[in-house]
Structure 1
Protein backbone atom coordinates (compact mmCIF):
# COMPACT_ATOMS: atom_id res chain seq x y z
CA UNK A 1 0.00 0.00 0.00
CA UNK A 2 1.50 3.31 -1.10
CA UNK A 3 1.98 6.21 1.27
CA UNK A 4 -0.34 9.10 0.44
CA UNK A 5 1.29 12.00 -1.37
CA UNK A 6 -0.13 15.48 -1.88
CA UNK A 7 -1.00 14.58 -5.46
CA UNK A 8 -2.78 11.38 -4.43
CA UNK A 9 -4.71 13.24 -1.72
CA UNK A 10 -5.78 15.94 -4.17
CA UNK A 11 -7.24 13.32 -6.52
CA UNK A 12 -9.50 11.88 -3.80
CA UNK A 13 -13.08 13.17 -3.70
CA UNK A 14 -15.24 13.05 -0.55
CA UNK A 15 -17.20 10.13 -2.02
CA UNK A 16 -13.98 8.29 -2.82
CA UNK A 17 -12.73 8.93 0.72
CA UNK A 18 -15.85 7.31 2.15
CA UNK A 19 -15.40 4.31 -0.15
CA UNK A 20 -11.79 3.94 1.01
CA UNK A 21 -12.98 3.77 4.62
CA UNK A 22 -15.76 1.30 3.81
CA UNK A 23 -13.34 -0.96 1.94
CA UNK A 24 -10.87 -0.75 4.82
CA UNK A 25 -13.53 -1.75 7.32
CA UNK A 26 -14.48 -4.74 5.18
CA UNK A 27 -10.86 -5.87 5.23
CA UNK A 28 -10.76 -5.46 9.01
CA UNK A 29 -13.95 -7.45 9.53
CA UNK A 30 -12.67 -10.25 7.27
CA UNK A 31 -9.16 -10.18 8.78
CA UNK A 32 -7.64 -9.32 5.40
CA UNK A 33 -5.65 -6.24 6.37
CA UNK A 34 -3.25 -4.78 3.82
CA UNK A 35 0.41 -5.63 4.30
CA UNK A 36 2.14 -2.33 5.07
CA UNK A 37 5.73 -1.39 5.81
CA UNK A 38 4.99 1.00 8.66
CA UNK A 39 8.62 1.97 9.15
CA UNK A 40 8.81 2.91 5.49
CA UNK A 41 5.61 4.93 5.82
CA UNK A 42 7.07 6.69 8.85
CA UNK A 43 10.12 7.65 6.79
CA UNK A 44 8.07 8.71 3.78
CA UNK A 45 5.83 10.97 5.87
CA UNK A 46 8.63 12.49 7.93
CA UNK A 47 8.67 15.64 5.79
CA UNK A 48 4.90 16.01 5.48
CA UNK A 49 1.56 14.29 5.82
CA UNK A 50 -1.48 14.20 3.53
CA UNK A 51 -4.31 12.27 5.26
CA UNK A 52 -7.59 11.86 3.39
CA UNK A 53 -9.91 11.70 6.43
CA UNK A 54 -10.53 13.13 9.89
CA UNK A 55 -12.19 10.63 12.20
CA UNK A 56 -13.70 11.70 15.52
CA UNK A 57 -14.14 8.65 17.72
CA UNK A 58 -14.28 7.63 21.37
CA UNK A 59 -11.23 6.90 23.54
CA UNK A 60 -12.49 3.33 23.98
CA UNK A 61 -9.52 0.97 23.60
CA UNK A 62 -11.45 -1.16 21.10
CA UNK A 63 -12.19 1.63 18.63
CA UNK A 64 -8.83 2.57 17.09
CA UNK A 65 -9.77 4.20 13.77
CA UNK A 66 -6.53 3.14 12.09
CA UNK A 67 -7.29 -0.49 12.87
CA UNK A 68 -11.01 -0.73 12.18
CA UNK A 69 -10.60 1.09 8.86
CA UNK A 70 -7.30 -0.67 8.04
CA UNK A 71 -5.32 2.50 7.40
CA UNK A 72 -1.62 3.17 7.68
CA UNK A 73 0.60 5.99 8.91
CA UNK A 74 -0.24 9.27 7.22
CA UNK A 75 -3.72 8.18 6.07
CA UNK A 76 -6.07 9.67 8.68
CA UNK A 77 -6.24 12.29 11.39
CA UNK A 78 -7.59 10.51 14.46
CA UNK A 79 -9.38 12.65 17.06
CA UNK A 80 -10.36 10.71 20.16
CA UNK A 81 -12.40 11.82 23.15
CA UNK A 82 -14.87 10.02 25.43
CA UNK A 83 -18.32 10.02 23.86
CA UNK A 84 -17.01 11.39 20.53
CA UNK A 85 -18.22 14.88 21.48
CA UNK A 86 -16.90 18.19 20.14
CA UNK A 87 -15.58 21.40 21.62
CA UNK A 88 -13.70 24.41 20.24
CA UNK A 89 -10.35 22.62 20.35
CA UNK A 90 -11.66 19.65 18.40
CA UNK A 91 -13.36 21.91 15.84
CA UNK A 92 -10.09 23.78 15.44
CA UNK A 93 -8.26 20.52 14.91
CA UNK A 94 -10.80 19.52 12.25
CA UNK A 95 -10.43 22.87 10.52
CA UNK A 96 -6.68 22.36 10.42
CA UNK A 97 -7.02 18.80 9.15
CA UNK A 98 -9.42 19.76 6.36
CA UNK A 99 -8.78 23.38 5.36
CA UNK A 100 -5.02 23.40 5.90
CA UNK A 101 -3.93 19.78 5.51
CA UNK A 102 -6.45 18.77 2.84
CA UNK A 103 -8.52 15.92 4.33
CA UNK A 104 -11.62 15.13 2.24
CA UNK A 105 -14.06 13.69 4.76
CA UNK A 106 -14.98 13.94 8.44
CA UNK A 107 -16.42 10.88 10.14
CA UNK A 108 -18.11 11.08 13.53
CA UNK A 109 -17.84 7.54 14.83
CA UNK A 110 -19.75 6.27 17.84
CA UNK A 111 -19.64 2.71 19.09
CA UNK A 112 -21.85 0.17 20.83
CA UNK A 113 -21.85 -0.20 24.61
CA UNK A 114 -20.17 3.17 25.07
CA UNK A 115 -19.23 3.94 28.68
CA UNK A 116 -19.57 7.69 28.21
CA UNK A 117 -23.07 7.29 26.80
CA UNK A 118 -23.99 5.05 29.73
CA UNK A 119 -22.64 7.64 32.14
CA UNK A 120 -24.75 10.36 30.52
CA UNK A 121 -27.83 8.11 30.64
CA UNK A 122 -27.25 7.70 34.38
CA UNK A 123 -26.54 11.44 34.83
CA UNK A 124 -23.17 10.68 36.43
CA UNK A 125 -21.35 13.58 38.08
CA UNK A 126 -17.65 13.12 38.83
CA UNK A 127 -15.00 15.79 38.62
CA UNK A 128 -14.22 17.05 35.12
CA UNK A 129 -16.20 14.16 33.65
CA UNK A 130 -19.36 16.04 34.64
CA UNK A 131 -18.71 18.74 32.04
CA UNK A 132 -17.91 16.22 29.33
CA UNK A 133 -21.04 14.15 29.95
CA UNK A 134 -23.16 17.31 29.92
CA UNK A 135 -22.40 17.54 26.19
CA UNK A 136 -24.12 14.17 25.70
CA UNK A 137 -27.14 15.03 27.88
CA UNK A 138 -29.04 16.72 24.98
CA UNK A 139 -29.04 13.38 23.15
CA UNK A 140 -30.38 11.66 26.26
CA UNK A 141 -33.19 14.19 26.49
CA UNK A 142 -33.90 14.00 22.74
CA UNK A 143 -34.44 10.23 22.84
CA UNK A 144 -38.16 10.03 23.57
CA UNK A 145 -39.16 6.63 22.18
CA UNK A 146 -38.04 4.82 25.33
CA UNK A 147 -40.13 5.83 28.31
CA UNK A 148 -39.22 3.27 30.95
CA UNK A 149 -35.82 2.35 32.41
CA UNK A 150 -34.05 5.33 30.87
CA UNK A 151 -30.67 4.36 32.27
CA UNK A 152 -27.54 2.38 31.42
CA UNK A 153 -29.24 -0.85 32.36
CA UNK A 154 -31.44 -0.56 29.28
CA UNK A 155 -29.27 -1.57 26.30
CA UNK A 156 -31.84 -0.37 23.76
CA UNK A 157 -31.97 3.08 25.34
CA UNK A 158 -28.17 3.33 25.46
CA UNK A 159 -27.77 2.51 21.77
CA UNK A 160 -30.53 4.90 20.71
CA UNK A 161 -28.88 7.70 22.68
CA UNK A 162 -25.51 6.81 21.12
CA UNK A 163 -27.00 7.10 17.64
CA UNK A 164 -28.60 10.44 18.40
CA UNK A 165 -25.35 11.67 19.90
CA UNK A 166 -23.50 10.91 16.66
CA UNK A 167 -26.12 12.61 14.50
CA UNK A 168 -26.26 15.67 16.75
CA UNK A 169 -22.47 15.93 16.66
CA UNK A 170 -22.46 15.91 12.86
CA UNK A 171 -25.02 18.70 12.90
CA UNK A 172 -23.08 20.66 15.52
CA UNK A 173 -19.88 20.52 13.45
CA UNK A 174 -21.70 22.03 10.48
CA UNK A 175 -23.41 24.70 12.58
CA UNK A 176 -20.41 25.69 14.68
CA UNK A 177 -17.69 25.78 12.01
CA UNK A 178 -18.33 28.19 9.12
CA UNK A 179 -15.03 27.04 7.60
CA UNK A 180 -16.03 23.38 7.43
CA UNK A 181 -19.59 24.19 6.38
CA UNK A 182 -18.35 26.24 3.44
CA UNK A 183 -16.07 23.40 2.35
CA UNK A 184 -19.01 20.98 2.52
CA UNK A 185 -21.27 23.32 0.55
CA UNK A 186 -18.56 23.70 -2.09
CA UNK A 187 -18.16 19.94 -2.44
CA UNK A 188 -14.60 20.02 -1.13
CA UNK A 189 -15.40 18.07 2.01
CA UNK A 190 -17.74 15.30 3.08
CA UNK A 191 -19.12 14.55 6.53
CA UNK A 192 -20.95 11.51 7.81
CA UNK A 193 -21.77 9.74 11.06
CA UNK A 194 -21.66 6.08 11.89
CA UNK A 195 -21.37 3.46 14.60
CA UNK A 196 -18.77 0.79 15.19
CA UNK A 197 -20.10 -2.48 16.58
CA UNK A 198 -17.41 -3.59 19.04
CA UNK A 199 -18.63 -7.20 18.86
CA UNK A 200 -18.40 -7.64 15.08
CA UNK A 201 -16.08 -4.83 14.03
CA UNK A 202 -18.62 -3.63 11.46
CA UNK A 203 -19.03 0.11 10.94
CA UNK A 204 -22.54 1.17 9.91
CA UNK A 205 -22.90 4.64 8.41
CA UNK A 206 -26.02 6.78 8.67
CA UNK A 207 -27.15 7.84 5.15
CA UNK A 208 -29.10 10.80 6.53
CA UNK A 209 -25.84 12.34 7.75
CA UNK A 210 -24.05 11.84 4.41
CA UNK A 211 -22.33 14.93 3.01
CA UNK A 212 -24.66 14.92 -0.03
CA UNK A 213 -27.63 15.47 2.27
CA UNK A 214 -25.73 18.13 4.16
CA UNK A 215 -24.92 20.03 0.97
CA UNK A 216 -28.59 20.08 -0.02
CA UNK A 217 -29.98 21.17 3.34
CA UNK A 218 -29.32 24.26 5.50
CA UNK A 219 -27.71 23.96 8.88
CA UNK A 220 -30.08 22.64 11.48
CA UNK A 221 -32.19 20.75 8.96
CA UNK A 222 -31.69 17.32 10.50
CA UNK A 223 -34.73 16.02 12.32
CA UNK A 224 -33.23 14.95 15.62
Structure 2
Protein backbone atom coordinates (compact mmCIF):
# COMPACT_ATOMS: atom_id res chain seq x y z
CA UNK A 1 0.00 0.00 0.00
CA UNK A 2 1.37 3.45 -0.92
CA UNK A 3 1.55 6.27 1.61
CA UNK A 4 -1.28 8.12 -0.14
CA UNK A 5 -3.49 5.01 -0.07
CA UNK A 6 -2.79 4.53 3.61
CA UNK A 7 -3.75 8.15 4.34
CA UNK A 8 -6.98 7.81 2.39
CA UNK A 9 -7.81 4.55 4.17
CA UNK A 10 -7.30 5.94 7.69
CA UNK A 11 -10.63 7.80 8.10
CA UNK A 12 -12.58 4.79 6.87
CA UNK A 13 -10.70 2.46 9.20
CA UNK A 14 -11.37 4.74 12.16
CA UNK A 15 -15.07 4.87 11.31
CA UNK A 16 -15.07 1.07 11.09
CA UNK A 17 -13.44 0.74 14.51
CA UNK A 18 -16.08 2.99 16.08
CA UNK A 19 -18.85 1.05 14.35
CA UNK A 20 -17.31 -2.17 15.65
CA UNK A 21 -17.52 -1.01 19.26
CA UNK A 22 -21.11 0.14 18.91
CA UNK A 23 -22.26 -3.08 17.23
CA UNK A 24 -20.60 -5.43 19.72
CA UNK A 25 -21.90 -3.46 22.71
CA UNK A 26 -25.46 -3.78 21.40
CA UNK A 27 -25.60 -7.58 21.71
CA UNK A 28 -25.48 -9.75 24.83
CA UNK A 29 -23.52 -12.97 25.26
CA UNK A 30 -26.80 -14.87 25.45
CA UNK A 31 -27.98 -13.34 22.18
CA UNK A 32 -24.64 -14.12 20.55
CA UNK A 33 -24.85 -17.76 21.61
CA UNK A 34 -28.44 -17.99 20.37
CA UNK A 35 -27.31 -16.74 16.96
CA UNK A 36 -24.57 -19.39 16.89
CA UNK A 37 -26.96 -22.18 17.91
CA UNK A 38 -29.52 -21.16 15.30
CA UNK A 39 -26.75 -21.22 12.71
CA UNK A 40 -25.55 -24.62 13.93
CA UNK A 41 -29.07 -26.00 13.56
CA UNK A 42 -29.13 -24.78 9.97
CA UNK A 43 -25.71 -26.35 9.35
CA UNK A 44 -26.83 -29.71 10.78
CA UNK A 45 -30.01 -29.71 8.67
CA UNK A 46 -28.20 -28.56 5.53
CA UNK A 47 -30.55 -25.58 5.18
CA UNK A 48 -27.93 -22.85 5.49
CA UNK A 49 -28.79 -19.19 5.04
CA UNK A 50 -28.06 -17.49 1.72
CA UNK A 51 -25.23 -14.96 1.80
CA UNK A 52 -24.41 -12.03 -0.46
CA UNK A 53 -20.62 -12.10 -0.27
CA UNK A 54 -19.89 -9.26 -2.72
CA UNK A 55 -22.16 -6.85 -0.84
CA UNK A 56 -20.83 -7.98 2.54
CA UNK A 57 -17.24 -7.52 1.38
CA UNK A 58 -18.02 -3.92 0.51
CA UNK A 59 -19.62 -3.32 3.91
CA UNK A 60 -16.54 -4.66 5.70
CA UNK A 61 -13.97 -2.49 3.94
CA UNK A 62 -14.38 0.18 6.61
CA UNK A 63 -13.92 -2.21 9.53
CA UNK A 64 -15.07 -5.35 11.29
CA UNK A 65 -17.68 -5.84 14.01
CA UNK A 66 -17.78 -9.55 14.90
CA UNK A 67 -20.22 -10.55 17.64
CA UNK A 68 -18.17 -13.46 19.01
CA UNK A 69 -14.57 -14.58 19.41
CA UNK A 70 -13.98 -18.29 18.80
CA UNK A 71 -10.83 -20.24 19.66
CA UNK A 72 -10.78 -23.67 18.06
CA UNK A 73 -8.52 -26.35 16.65
CA UNK A 74 -6.76 -26.03 13.31
CA UNK A 75 -8.40 -29.28 12.18
CA UNK A 76 -9.69 -28.80 8.64
CA UNK A 77 -13.00 -30.41 9.61
CA UNK A 78 -13.82 -27.70 12.13
CA UNK A 79 -14.34 -24.33 10.35
CA UNK A 80 -16.34 -22.09 12.76
CA UNK A 81 -17.93 -19.96 10.05
CA UNK A 82 -19.45 -23.06 8.43
CA UNK A 83 -20.34 -24.92 11.63
CA UNK A 84 -22.27 -21.90 12.90
CA UNK A 85 -23.50 -20.83 9.44
CA UNK A 86 -22.13 -17.31 9.71
CA UNK A 87 -20.75 -14.98 7.07
CA UNK A 88 -17.87 -12.59 6.51
CA UNK A 89 -17.11 -10.39 9.49
CA UNK A 90 -19.33 -12.26 11.97
CA UNK A 91 -16.79 -14.33 13.91
CA UNK A 92 -13.31 -13.37 15.10
CA UNK A 93 -11.60 -16.74 14.69
CA UNK A 94 -8.38 -17.99 16.30
CA UNK A 95 -7.26 -21.46 15.28
CA UNK A 96 -4.43 -23.53 16.73
CA UNK A 97 -3.89 -27.27 17.08
CA UNK A 98 -5.52 -28.48 20.29
CA UNK A 99 -6.98 -24.97 20.87
CA UNK A 100 -4.17 -24.37 23.37
CA UNK A 101 -3.13 -21.03 24.87
CA UNK A 102 0.31 -19.60 24.12
CA UNK A 103 1.19 -15.87 24.21
CA UNK A 104 0.29 -15.39 20.54
CA UNK A 105 -3.12 -16.97 20.99
CA UNK A 106 -3.67 -15.03 24.22
CA UNK A 107 -2.89 -11.78 22.44
CA UNK A 108 -5.33 -12.67 19.69
CA UNK A 109 -8.05 -13.46 22.25
CA UNK A 110 -7.45 -10.14 23.99
CA UNK A 111 -7.78 -8.34 20.68
CA UNK A 112 -11.13 -9.96 20.09
CA UNK A 113 -12.64 -9.48 23.54
CA UNK A 114 -11.11 -6.12 24.48
CA UNK A 115 -10.55 -4.22 21.24
CA UNK A 116 -13.40 -5.66 19.19
CA UNK A 117 -15.62 -5.88 22.31
CA UNK A 118 -17.14 -9.26 21.55
CA UNK A 119 -19.38 -10.14 24.53
CA UNK A 120 -18.90 -13.88 24.03
CA UNK A 121 -15.75 -16.02 23.83
CA UNK A 122 -16.14 -19.65 22.76
CA UNK A 123 -13.43 -22.24 23.38
CA UNK A 124 -14.41 -24.97 20.92
CA UNK A 125 -12.99 -28.47 21.22
CA UNK A 126 -14.05 -31.24 18.87
CA UNK A 127 -14.61 -34.96 18.65
CA UNK A 128 -11.62 -37.08 17.56
CA UNK A 129 -9.13 -34.24 18.06
CA UNK A 130 -5.80 -35.35 16.62
CA UNK A 131 -3.74 -33.19 18.97
CA UNK A 132 -5.41 -34.63 22.06
CA UNK A 133 -5.20 -38.16 20.63
CA UNK A 134 -1.46 -37.69 20.15
CA UNK A 135 -1.15 -36.45 23.73
CA UNK A 136 -2.86 -39.61 25.03
CA UNK A 137 -0.42 -41.73 23.03
CA UNK A 138 2.62 -39.78 24.23
CA UNK A 139 5.66 -38.52 22.41
CA UNK A 140 6.04 -35.90 19.69
CA UNK A 141 8.82 -34.46 17.57
CA UNK A 142 9.86 -30.87 16.96
CA UNK A 143 7.66 -27.99 17.99
CA UNK A 144 4.60 -30.26 18.23
CA UNK A 145 5.97 -31.25 21.63
CA UNK A 146 5.05 -27.80 22.98
CA UNK A 147 1.39 -28.49 22.07
CA UNK A 148 1.54 -31.87 23.85
CA UNK A 149 2.94 -30.19 26.96
CA UNK A 150 -0.10 -27.89 27.13
CA UNK A 151 -2.55 -30.78 26.71
CA UNK A 152 -0.85 -33.35 28.97
CA UNK A 153 -2.46 -32.24 32.28
CA UNK A 154 -5.92 -32.68 30.74
CA UNK A 155 -4.97 -36.17 29.55
CA UNK A 156 -3.69 -37.22 32.96
CA UNK A 157 -6.84 -35.90 34.65
CA UNK A 158 -8.91 -37.90 32.16
CA UNK A 159 -6.90 -41.04 32.95
CA UNK A 160 -8.27 -40.89 36.51
CA UNK A 161 -11.59 -42.09 35.09
CA UNK A 162 -9.87 -45.36 34.07
CA UNK A 163 -11.22 -44.91 30.54
CA UNK A 164 -9.19 -46.23 27.63
CA UNK A 165 -9.05 -45.90 23.85
CA UNK A 166 -11.47 -43.52 22.18
CA UNK A 167 -13.37 -42.97 25.44
CA UNK A 168 -10.20 -41.67 27.06
CA UNK A 169 -9.55 -39.38 24.11
CA UNK A 170 -13.06 -37.88 24.28
CA UNK A 171 -12.81 -37.37 28.05
CA UNK A 172 -9.42 -35.71 27.58
CA UNK A 173 -10.88 -33.43 24.90
CA UNK A 174 -13.55 -32.28 27.37
CA UNK A 175 -10.98 -31.79 30.13
CA UNK A 176 -8.75 -29.87 27.74
CA UNK A 177 -11.53 -27.35 27.05
CA UNK A 178 -11.77 -26.61 30.78
CA UNK A 179 -7.98 -26.51 31.11
CA UNK A 180 -7.71 -24.04 28.21
CA UNK A 181 -10.24 -21.75 29.91
CA UNK A 182 -8.33 -21.98 33.19
CA UNK A 183 -5.03 -21.22 31.44
CA UNK A 184 -6.64 -18.28 29.66
CA UNK A 185 -7.93 -16.80 32.90
CA UNK A 186 -4.56 -17.38 34.61
CA UNK A 187 -2.46 -15.92 31.82
CA UNK A 188 -4.68 -13.07 30.64
CA UNK A 189 -5.65 -10.64 33.43
CA UNK A 190 -7.38 -8.53 30.76
CA UNK A 191 -9.75 -11.35 29.85
CA UNK A 192 -10.39 -12.34 33.46
CA UNK A 193 -11.22 -8.74 34.39
CA UNK A 194 -13.73 -8.50 31.54
CA UNK A 195 -15.47 -11.62 32.85
CA UNK A 196 -15.48 -10.31 36.42
CA UNK A 197 -16.93 -7.01 35.23
CA UNK A 198 -19.77 -8.86 33.43
CA UNK A 199 -18.55 -7.65 30.04
CA UNK A 200 -17.62 -11.11 28.79
CA UNK A 201 -18.96 -14.66 29.04
CA UNK A 202 -16.90 -17.71 28.13
CA UNK A 203 -18.46 -20.89 26.76
CA UNK A 204 -16.51 -24.11 26.56
CA UNK A 205 -18.10 -26.20 23.82
CA UNK A 206 -17.55 -29.30 21.72
CA UNK A 207 -18.22 -30.01 18.07
CA UNK A 208 -19.26 -33.52 17.06
CA UNK A 209 -17.94 -34.59 13.67
CA UNK A 210 -20.55 -37.31 13.24
CA UNK A 211 -23.62 -35.12 13.71
CA UNK A 212 -22.37 -31.59 13.09
CA UNK A 213 -23.79 -30.51 16.44
CA UNK A 214 -22.15 -28.18 18.96
CA UNK A 215 -22.92 -28.66 22.67
CA UNK A 216 -21.97 -26.59 25.71
CA UNK A 217 -19.56 -28.17 28.18
CA UNK A 218 -18.88 -25.24 30.48
CA UNK A 219 -20.15 -21.68 30.95
CA UNK A 220 -18.03 -19.13 32.80
CA UNK A 221 -19.28 -15.68 33.75
CA UNK A 222 -18.94 -13.27 36.68
CA UNK A 223 -20.95 -15.59 38.93
CA UNK A 224 -18.58 -18.56 38.75
CA UNK A 225 -15.26 -17.37 37.32
CA UNK A 226 -13.51 -17.67 40.68
CA UNK A 227 -14.92 -21.16 41.16
CA UNK A 228 -13.75 -22.21 37.72
CA UNK A 229 -10.19 -21.08 38.37
CA UNK A 230 -10.05 -22.76 41.79
CA UNK A 231 -11.49 -26.08 40.59
CA UNK A 232 -9.15 -26.29 37.63
CA UNK A 233 -6.18 -25.38 39.81
CA UNK A 234 -7.15 -28.17 42.21
CA UNK A 235 -7.38 -30.68 39.37
CA UNK A 236 -4.01 -29.70 37.94
CA UNK A 237 -2.42 -29.71 41.41
CA UNK A 238 -3.87 -33.18 42.04
CA UNK A 239 -2.44 -34.37 38.71
CA UNK A 240 0.99 -33.00 39.60
CA UNK A 241 0.93 -34.62 43.04
CA UNK A 242 -0.49 -37.92 41.84
CA UNK A 243 -3.75 -37.56 43.80
CA UNK A 244 -7.27 -38.07 42.50
CA UNK A 245 -8.59 -34.74 41.13
CA UNK A 246 -11.77 -33.12 42.37
CA UNK A 247 -14.90 -33.16 40.24
CA UNK A 248 -15.16 -30.77 37.32
CA UNK A 249 -17.90 -28.24 36.75
CA UNK A 250 -20.91 -30.30 35.57
CA UNK A 251 -21.09 -30.73 31.81
CA UNK A 252 -24.09 -31.21 29.57
CA UNK A 253 -24.68 -34.64 28.10
CA UNK A 254 -23.12 -35.36 24.73
CA UNK A 255 -25.48 -36.16 21.86
TM-score (norm 1): 0.90
1:129 to 130, 138, 144: 144
2:80 corresponds to which of 65, 73, 79: 65
Deviating runs (4+, > 4 A) in structure 1? none
Structure 1 residue 216, shift from structure 2 partner: 6.5
Find out whether 1:202 has 2:217 as its counterpart: no
> Which structure has the higher relative contact order (CA within 8 Å, separation 6+)?
1
Superposed, which structure 2 residues align to 1:69-80 within 5 Å?
69-80=84-95
Matched, 1:220 2:235: no
Aligned equivalents of 1:195 and 1:157: distance in 2? 15
Question: Is 2:43 the partner of 1:28?
Answer: yes
Contact 1:175 1:220 in 2 (8 A): no
Which residue of the other structure, out of 100, 104, 107, is the alignment partner of 1:92? 107
Q: Which runs of 5+ in 2 are unaligned?
A: 1-18, 233-246, 249-255
2:142 counterpart of 1:142: no
The 10-residue stretch of structure 1 (176-185 or 60-69) with the greater mean CA deviation from structure 2:
176-185
Give 1:144 shift.
3.4
SS in 2 for 1:209: strand
Number of the residue aligned with 1:112: 127
In the TM superposition, residue 171 of structure 1 has moved relative to its aligned partner by 1.6
Matched, 1:179 2:179: no
Higher mean C-alpha displacement, 124-133 vs 60-69: 124-133
User: Cα gap change, 1:128/1:10 in structure 2, threshold over 3 Å: closer, same or farther?
Assistant: same
Secondary structure (helix, strand or coil) at the match of 1:66 reads: helix
Contact 2:182/2:228, CA 8 A, preserved across alignment: no
1:192 is the counterpart of 2:195: no
Structure 1 residues 85 and 119 mapped into 2: Cα distance closer, same or farther (>3 Å)?
same
Tell me if 1:158 matches 2:173.
Answer: no
C-alpha RMSD over aligned residues: 1.7
- Are the counterparts in 2 of residues 187 and 215 from structure 1 also a CA contact under 8 Å? no
**Native 8 Å contact 2:197 2:222 kept in 1:** no
Question: 1:18 Cα deviation (Å)?
Answer: 1.3
The structure whose residues are more often helix, as a share, is: 2
Output the TM-score relative to the length of structure 2: 0.79
> Is the partner of 1:136 in helix, strand or coil?
helix
Residue of 211, 216, 219 corresponding to 2:221: 211
5 Å matches for 1:7-26?
Answer: 7-26=22-41
Q: Does 1:167 align with 2:178?
A: yes
Q: How many residues align?
A: 215
- Structure 1 stretches lacking a partner, 5+ long: none
Bigger Rg over Cα: 2
